[in-house]
Amino acid sequence: MDLKVEPMDIDYDQPPPLQVFAHTSTLHGISHIFSYEKITAKCCLWVVFFLSSLTFLMYVCVDRIQFYLEYPHVTKLDEITTPIMVFPAVTICNLNSIRFSRITRNDLYHAGELLALLNSRHEIRDTHLVEESVMEVLKSKADFRSFKPRPFNMWDFYNRTGHDIKDMLLSCQFRGWPCRPEDFSVVFTRYGKCYTFNSGNTGAPLVSVKGGMGNGLEIMLDIQQDEYLPVWGETDDSSFEAGIKVQIHSQDEPPFIDQLGFGVAPGFQTFVSCQEQRLMYLPAPWGSCKSTPPSSDYFKAYSISACRTDCETRYLVENCNCRMVHMPGDAQYCTPVLYKECAHPALDFLVERDSDYCSCETPCNITRYSKELSFVKIPSKASVKYLAKKYSKSEKYITENVLVLDVFFEALNYETIEQRKAYEVAGLLGDIGGQMGLFIGASILTILELFDYLYEVRFITNLYGCFVINISLRICEVAIHQNLLLHYPSQYVKLKYTTIQMFGVNKSCFY
């Protein structure tokens, strides 16, 4: 029985999948490149336009990515008014750390060379520079015949011989109300025994409810120049200046007055107008601030002052096996000999040269106070007699020893200086998306279309097409290969390769 195959109308001009995708995709331009027509000049121009746009797009995307990887930031300044503000801590130090009248014979025996009063043989130095009254006192104290030295402690020495706030403070007012020496807490610095007003250690810090003069701290001090050590040489404990050192800082920050303080001279009233500044920095990679909790055993809050003090303490303990009086910790205090031969030289070297050892990062949140200073002469000719009578001093003494310090807020507002990220991921994606839309008319969904096309054509169709078409063709070949190949050989081959084109599969699937 002969099988007879009727001729069939088969559409052999089915477009390839790429052309179909080009005409259905939301990607602009490719429908003109992969058109159903033959290649023309118009098609070539569209290829040039599309590739040029794609090149510009890649250039802009690379530029935006490079800009993002620079992690830029901007600084925002703002001024905020508030009805109440915490008054800062005010630390004051007399520039003379040791009162001459408080030095005992035992003090002179142990620390006389450190203070440059005696030489290494416990003899008075440079007697021709000594005033007669000072010389008499010094001779009586420097008589070490049949003297038996007692134990000596540097902390006790500085605490006992330092200037007493009860003797220095002539008058004190805060917001018009009187304040007392008890309102000042003792703190030790490189200037010895100092005092902090409004430290916050004994309770909540004081506040200001109004700006301007008379609404802050006003103190009158006697610097007691008659107690200053005679200067016969240059040491770390001798002072060529007369006056006090002042630092205005937050309650969370320990004073670092030898480097951050400003001087106030006797014979003047100094007005210090302050404005609080709150600085907010960014951590890496946008900035370089320290955002991790402090690793110090001595300070609860991290600050540059706390970091420096902590670092200097560790440096001295490592190099001198002792610490100075103003340093925290439980290491033993340095002796006068170690002060002179090790502690002072090591600390001076650390401060001036070895900056790598104490690398203190900026904290991410800082409260500091900008200051504007102004001065007037005090006392006036009209008031000098009254002040001399009031405090039982001579007019010359009042002129040489009395000063007034007035610290207040300029206004009840604070300034914020904040670093902000200038370019984040959202901005990067927005820029790239905008450029994609501008140059090639694409979006995220267009990219998903491309991936979807590649996935279906290159993987699913290839594997599934190979399997189905091979099975189908094998069945067809078994069933009709004899008659089909015999009567329509050319149509069979053409049908085979048309199927290959439609499914985008490899020719090797059929062999």
* pLDDT tens-digit readout, 434-445: 888 887 777 777
267 and 324 housed in the same domain: no
Read off the tokens for 133. 């009254």
3-state secondary structure of 462: helix
Residue finishing a domain among 334, 361, 388: 361
334 and 393 housed in the same domain: no
172 and 264 housed in the same domain: yes
Domain that holds residue 409: 78-99+162-289+374-421
233 and 283 housed in the same domain: yes
Q: Evaluate whether residue 349 is within a structural domain.
A: yes
95 and 225 housed in the same domain: yes
Q: Evaluate whether residue 492 is within a structural domain.
A: no
Q: Evaluate whether residue 356 is within a structural domain.
A: yes
221 and 320 housed in the same domain: no
311 and 396 housed in the same domain: no
pLDDT of 221 = 97
When the pLDDT of each residue in the chain is averaged and rounded to a whole number, the result is: 84
Q: Evaluate whether residue 135 is within a structural domain.
A: no
pLDDT of 202 = 83
- CA-CA distance, 494 to 45, in Å (whole number)? 34
Peptide bond before 205: cis, by omega within 30 degrees of 0? no
Residue finishing a domain among 339, 361, 383: 361
259 and 189 housed in the same domain: yes
Model confidence, pTM? 0.77
Residue 89 φ/ψ, nearest 5 degrees = -80, 140
222 and 240 housed in the same domain: yes
* Strands of the sheet with 192-197, listed across from one edge: 184-189, 192-197, 89-94, 244-249, 262-264
276 and 394 housed in the same domain: yes
pLDDT of 400 = 95
CATH number at 193 reads 2.60.470.10
Q: Evaluate whether residue 397 is within a structural domain.
A: yes
b/e code 53-91 from CB counts within 10 Å (16+ = b): beeebeebbeebeeebeeeebeeeeeeeeeeebbbbbbb
Q: Structurally, how many domains does the chain consist of?
A: 2
178 and 82 housed in the same domain: yes
Contacts 24+ apart (CB under 8 A), 194-197: 194/91, 194/92, 194/93, 194/94, 194/255, 194/257, 195/91, 195/92, 195/93, 195/165, 196/89, 196/90, 196/91, 196/92, 196/255, 197/89, 197/90, 197/91, 197/92
Q: Evaluate whether residue 475 is within a structural domain.
A: no
273 and 314 housed in the same domain: no
- CA-CA distance, 147 to 169, in Å (whole number)? 37
Q: Evaluate whether residue 241 is within a structural domain.
A: yes
Total Cβ atoms within 10 A of residue 451: 9
Residue finishing a domain among 318, 338, 361: 361
CATH number at 320 reads 1.10.287.820
Residue (of 214, 218, 216) closest to 270 by Cα position: 218
124, burial (CB in 10 Å: exposed 0-12, middle 13-18, buried 19+): middle
Q: Show pLDDT as tens, one digit a residue, over the chain (511 residues).
A: 454 545 555 455 666 766 666 667 777 777 667 776 677 777 788 888 888 888 888 999 999 999 999 999 999 999 999 999 999 999 999 999 999 999 999 999 999 888 888 888 888 877 666 677 788 888 888 888 888 989 999 999 999 999 999 999 999 999 999 999 999 999 999 999 999 999 988 888 999 999 999 899 999 999 999 999 888 767 666 678 899 999 999 999 999 999 999 999 999 999 999 999 999 999 989 988 887 766 777 888 888 899 999 989 999 999 999 999 999 999 999 999 999 999 988 888 887 776 677 888 889 999 999 999 999 999 999 999 999 999 999 999 999 999 999 999 999 999 999 999 999 988 888 888 888 888 777 777 777 877 777 777 766 555 655 555 556 555 555 555 555 555 555 555 555 555 545 444 444 444 4
Q: Evaluate whether residue 151 is within a structural domain.
A: no
CA Rg value for the chain: 43
